[in-house]
Amino acid sequence: MAENETKDGTPKDEKKGDLGSIVIDTQPAKSGNCPFHTGLYAAMGCLTLVYCAFIIDRESFAIYSAKFKPLGHVHSLFLTIEKYSPFMEVFESDEELIERLKATQAKMMAKEEVDIKQGVKVFTKEELAKYDGSPGSPGLYLALTGQVFDVSKGKEYYGPGGGYGFFSGRDASRAFVTGDFEEKGLIDTVDGLSKDDYMGLEEWSSFYNKDYKKVGVLSGNFYSPSGLPTPAWHALQASIEEARQDRDKHDVEKNMFPPCNVEWTQAKGSRFWCTNKSGGVSRTWAGVPRQLFYPGRQPRCACVRDKGAPSVDPGARSDTGDLDSPHVKAYPGCTGSEAECWNNPDVKEEL
């Protein structure tokens, strides 16, 4: 290597060109030179300061707004924003929120009260008692869950001496589903009933609303003296809804796992068998008898599909139906695909 050469063969006296520095500006173009933008920002800033003044001292702001007309328009704008903008709720204190909700609820109840007074009569218990269909009575009425119905067209049933005469002139809602027609059972409290009883009340209500004329509501357990629903009425609706959901769930379960046919004799023991109509559920398959378990409930015999995909996963490749469900279990000695099963294998073998 020559003395005047570098390691890479470049002559020492030859210098590489200087590329200088490259600056890449990633900042957006500034709008400070645009008169429109400058004016817009200035207006927004002024409006923000005026709004702060409005928030700090509303009363003084309202006084000055009345004196200066342009400021009055701004005041109206601020009031409109506060009234209709949902974002203003963020700045409310807990006390303000509670007061606003109370005021809203009061307005709704007042409106409902006006509607009720204009279209529906509110009976007192003493007034309704006169409508028992006896001689001199003004009519034949009964109440169910606070709704008053004119049952005059069914006087042979609800009139004096009729099979259901004890329902007339009162609200005996509980007796409609309990069957307790003694005086102590002819009451309007319906708390603590079973889910089936709540569904029964809903069915009775549908029946009377369809077949008889509703003439008002009864002040007492379910409606206030002004005709508004009481907490007991709301509790009843919640119980009916819960019972309805339970019924719907049971119907789905019943279609998936129809009840078995069951027969028991002392000599032969218990026999379970399945058909394509067992349990009152018509279907294209018969199934096999299995015990069905659910938490908190007594097990029962169910007909379980033993072919095809599981009911909960129709797209699965399994061909064992619902036999693999964690809720089903085979009876002792009856683990096969027989449509008939005995609770005692020894008895079956003897037969």
Report pLDDT for 154. Answer: 94
**Nearest Cα residue to 169 out of 205, 200, 210, 123:** 123
Examine the domain organization and report whether 234 and 263 are in the same domain.
no
Query: Does residue 36 carry a pLDDT above 50?
Result: yes
* pLDDT tens string 292-341: 988 877 888 999 999 999 988 888 888 989 999 999 998 876 777 777 88
Examine the domain organization and report whether 312 and 203 are in the same domain.
no
* pLDDT tens string 58-97: 667 666 666 666 666 676 666 666 554 444 444 445 555 5
Examine the domain organization and report whether 87 and 178 are in the same domain.
no
Q: In this predicted model, which residue has the larger pLDDT, 16 or 192?
A: 192
Examine the domain organization and report whether 238 and 135 are in the same domain.
yes
Examine the domain organization and report whether 298 and 275 are in the same domain.
yes
Examine the domain organization and report whether 277 and 245 are in the same domain.
no
Q: Is 211 helix (H, G, I), strand (E, B) or coil?
A: helix
**Average pLDDT over every residue of 190-199:** 92
Domain boundary among 199, 228, 249: 249
Examine the domain organization and report whether 128 and 243 are in the same domain.
yes
Report pLDDT for 212. Answer: 96
Rounded Cα–Cα distance for residues 175 and 173 (Å) = 6
Report pLDDT for 115. Answer: 47
Pairing of strands 213-218, 141-144: unpaired
Domain boundary among 188, 219, 249: 249
Contacts 24+ apart (CB under 8 A), 336-340: 336/288, 337/288, 337/306, 338/288, 339/273, 339/274, 339/275, 339/286, 339/287, 339/288, 339/289, 340/271, 340/272, 340/273, 340/274, 340/289
**Average pLDDT over every residue of 203-224:** 95
Query: Does residue 35 carry a pLDDT above 90?
Result: no
Structure tokens at 76: 């109206």
**Domain coverage including residue 75:** 47-91
Domain boundary among 228, 249, 270: 249
Report pLDDT for 96. Answer: 55
Report pLDDT for 55. Answer: 67
Band of the pLDDT at 4, cuts 50, 70, 90? low
Report pLDDT for 179. Answer: 92
Examine the domain organization and report whether 195 and 310 are in the same domain.
no
* Mean pLDDT of the chain, nearest integer: 79
In a domain, 266, yes or no: yes
Examine the domain organization and report whether 136 and 168 are in the same domain.
yes
Alpha helix segments (H runs only) across 57-149? 58-67, 69-84, 94-119, 125-129
Examine the domain organization and report whether 207 and 145 are in the same domain.
yes
Query: Does residue 41 carry a pLDDT above 80?
Result: no
In a domain, 100, yes or no: no
C-alpha distances (whole Å) from 345 to each of 286, 332, 338 are: 22, 7, 13
Structure tokens at 337: 């695909």
Structure tokens at 87: 């974002």
Write the CATH number for 135: 3.10.120.10
Rounded Cα–Cα distance for residues 334 and 331 (Å) = 5
Report pLDDT for 208. Answer: 96
165-179, 180-194, 217-231, 272-286: least confidently modelled range: 272-286
133-142, 312-321, 340-349: least confidently modelled range: 340-349
Band of the pLDDT at 281, cuts 50, 70, 90? confident
Report pLDDT for 314. Answer: 85
Report pLDDT for 348. Answer: 41
Rounded to a whole number, what is the distance in angstroms from the first to the last CA of the chain? Answer: 113
Number of domains in the chain: 3
Examine the domain organization and report whether 184 and 225 are in the same domain.
yes
In a domain, 203, yes or no: yes
On whether the CB atoms of residues 246 and 257 are closer than 8 A, the answer is no
Strands (E), 161-235: 213-218
Band of the pLDDT at 351, cuts 50, 70, 90? very low
**Average pLDDT over every residue of 29-51:** 70
**Nearest Cα residue to 169 out of 148, 190, 200, 184:** 148
**Nearest Cα residue to 272 out of 309, 312, 299:** 299
pTM of the shown model: 0.48
Examine the domain organization and report whether 138 and 219 are in the same domain.
yes
